[in-house]
Structure 1
Amino acid sequence: MQKQGFSRREFLSLAAATGGAALLAACQPVTQDTADGGMETAMEPVTVSVQSGWQTSGDGDIWTPCIELFDEKGTHISIEMIRLHVSPEDTMTAVAGGTAPDVYHRYIGGFAELMARGVMLPLDDLIANAPDFDPDIYLGSQWDNGKWDGVTYGIPALEGGSMPAICWHKHLIEEVGGDPEVGPRSWPEMLEWSRMLLQYDDDGNLTRAGFDPKDAYGFTVIAWPVVFDENYISEDKRTFTFDTEAWAEGLDIIAQFYTDPGIDKMLALRDQWGYWSGYPSSGFNNAKRAMVMDGNWLPGGLRSMVEVTGVELESIGYNFHPNLNEGNKAIDFGTGHTLFMPRSTQVAEDALTFMIHMTSVEVGLIEFEIRAAAMWSKPLLDAIDLSSVPGL
C-alpha cells in the first residue's frame, strides 16, 4: 500500500529543509517522452494490495492471469497479491492495527457487520465518477451482498449468479423409478427417493445416501431461504427471522434426511466421502450421494475432474430445487463474491481501477476458461456460449 500526497507535518519539514525547491519538484507531474518526441504526463507508481484466499494456487489460480492482464494495460498501478483467507475478525484486527490491504475479496456474505460498523469504505461517489464503468452490467440483486442501508461498499466480481439448483446422478434417480431428466419436484419426493437410495454394507455401515442437506451449497444458511420461500433476515439486515412456520417446517424436513439412516452413519459417510463438489473426493462426485444442492459452478467443477471421477457431464441432471411453496421455481441471484475496500486505504481511486478491471468481460472469460463459472454480467453472457458446458 503506497501513500499519496504529504501530511501537513511532512509538507512543512520538506519546505524548511530545502527552501521549498524539493517541495516544488515533488509537486510537479512526472513527464515522459512520447513516440512523436513530445511529452506526456505520467502518474506516479502506486501499489495496490489485494487479499484473497480463494482460487489462489495451482491450476485453479484465478488471480495470476487476471493480474497479468491488468499489467498489460500499462497503468501506473502494480498489484501486490496477499494469498490468505479473509475473515471479518482478521479484517477488523488488520484495519485497527494499520496493516489492512487496500482490497479485500470476500464470498458468501460475512461483511455485513463491517459495513455496519463503518470499517469498509463507501464506494458510491467513486463508482459514479469512474470512467468506463456501468453498474447496470449486473442485476440490482447482485449488488446486495455489498450494500448496507442503501450505501454501496462492495463490487460484485469473480463468481456469482443463479443458485441453488438441485443436481442428481441420472442413473441413480432412474434406479428408484424417478424421471432422470426431471429430477425431484417436491420435498416429499426428495425424502422418498433419498430413503430408497440408502445402501449399507454387511456391517450396517452407510455406503450411499440419497441427499445430505449440508453438502455443497447447503453448508450456508443463505442457501435455504430460496427453497423455504422465507428469508432468514429482515430486509434491513438487522433482525434474524428464523422464528417462522416456514423455517420450522423446513428444518424438520432437513432433520429427516439425517434421522432416517441415523446421524452417526451420515457423519461417518461424510468423513469418508467429503462435502463440497469442488473436490474429486466429494461424495456427490463419486455417486456416494445421489443428489446435491449446488450452484452454477458445479458443471465446470465436474468438467475439471472427469478424468479422476469418471463422471461425465451428460450423466448429471439439473433443475429448480424443490420448494416448500410447492411448484414455486426460485433461484437467488443476489449472493456471490464481492470486492471491498477498508476505510484505511490511501489509494482508493487506484484500488477501484483494479476492482473494475475484475468486473471486465476479459476477466470473466479467464475464469470461464478455468472454471466454467464467473460473476455473470450482461456483456459476459453475450460473449459466452453456455451450451459449451453441459448442464450450465
Structure 2
Amino acid sequence: MPASELSVRPLTVADMTRFIEVDNIAFIEGPYSPDLVAWQRRFLEVERSIGLFDDEEQVGGATIFTMRLSVPDGRLVPLAGVSWVSVLPTHRRRGGLTKLMRHQLHDLHDRQAEPLAGLTASHPGIYGRFGYGRPTQSVTLTVPREHNTLRLPQGVDDVTLRLVSPKAGLEACRETYARRLTSRPGMIDRPDFWFDFETDDLDQLRGGQSKLRLVLAEREGVTVGYAMYRTNELGPAKGEVRVNDVYAVDPAAYAALWRMLLNIDLTIATVVPGLAVDDPLLAMLEASRYGEPALRDGLYVRLVDVDRALAARTYATPIDVVFEVTDEFCPWNAGRWRLVGDEKGATCTRTDSTADISIDVRELASIYLGGVTLRSLAAANQVTEHTIGSVRAASTAFASDVQPWLSTGF
C-alpha cells in the first residue's frame, strides 16, 4: 500500500503536547515530564506553529518566534525566528521538511509579515536548498588555566563583581543586553520571555552541570555588565567552567568578567561555546592559540521578500546596482532588482535594466549582515559579475565594520 500524502496545517493549543513530543523524539532528547512539557508550552507561540500530518497523526512540525535582528546600521529588522523544526524518523525522505519550509515562507510572503526568516541548523547542509544563507559564524574556545593570561585595559580594578541569584539580577541583565543589542549585526532582540527561559534553570535541563550562576559587574553601584555560567566537575579539583553569556557596556567591565571566568578555583579550563570572530576576548588573550579556536556556523538567514529585506537596512557607501536574482523555492523573488541606497536609506524595485551581478537568493542572504563579502563569493564562483567593478562596489556598501554574530540560539 503506497504511503499517504503528508500535509501541513496550523496547530491549536490541543496539538502542542504532541508537537513537543515529536520534537523530543526527532532530537533524541531525554524523557520529558508533564511539568517540563507545560513549562515549554509557555514559550511557544501557538498561533505561529504548524504541524506535519500523516492523515490525523502529527509526525512533524515547526514554529516561529517573533523577533528582531540587528543589521549593520544598528537598525532592528523584524525576523521570523524559525525553530523546533522536526520530522519523525519514521517519516523522513517523504518531502515533509520541504512542505514545512514552503508553508512558512509562503505564509510570511502572503501576509507581508517579516521580510527575513532566520534559524540555527542542527546540520549545516540542510537549509541551503530552501534559500537560507549563512551570514554569521562564531568561535569556540576551551581556554586552559595555564594559558589564560589577559592583556587588560585600564579601569578593570574599578569594577566590582557580585554573585547574585539569576532571578534577582534579571532586570539588570535585560537592561545591559538592551544597551548592547545594536552594537553588532546579527544580535537578536530577545522576546520578553527569553531571560525567564534562561534563568528558570530546571534540574532536568542541566545535563549534570551546576546551577546557573549570575555575576553582575558594577561600577559605583551601577550595573555595567553581567556573566552567566555553570561549572562541571570532571574529577577532584578538575572542574570546568562553561560560559553562557557575557555582556558589558565598556571594555573594562568586559575584561573584569572574563578575568573572573578564566580563573575560578578548582577548575582546569573555561569553555566558551560561541564568540564573534572578532570578539575582544581574542585580542585580550595573550595566547589565544591554546584555546584551540574553531569556527562554527551561526545564524542562517532567508530573504522572504528581496525588495523589503534589502530596503530594510542602509549601506556603508552609496550603492546603485542591479541584481539578477535566482530563487527556485520562492519564485516571487526571481528576476532583476535595482538596489539604490546609502547610509541614510535604500529602495529596491523591479527593473528591466541589464544586470550588474547575478546571484542566488542564498548568497544574497549570506552578505546581508556585512560579514561575508561579495568579493569572497565571486572568488568562489558563487556570484557572477557582468559590469566590471560592480562586485567591489557592492561588497564595500554591504560591509560591516564589526563581524556579525548570533547572540541568542533559538
TM-score by length of 2: 0.31
More helix per residue: 1 or 2? 1
More strand per residue: 1 or 2? 2
Q: Which has the higher contact order (CA 8 A, sep 6+)?
A: 1
Higher Cα Rg: structure 1 or 2?
1
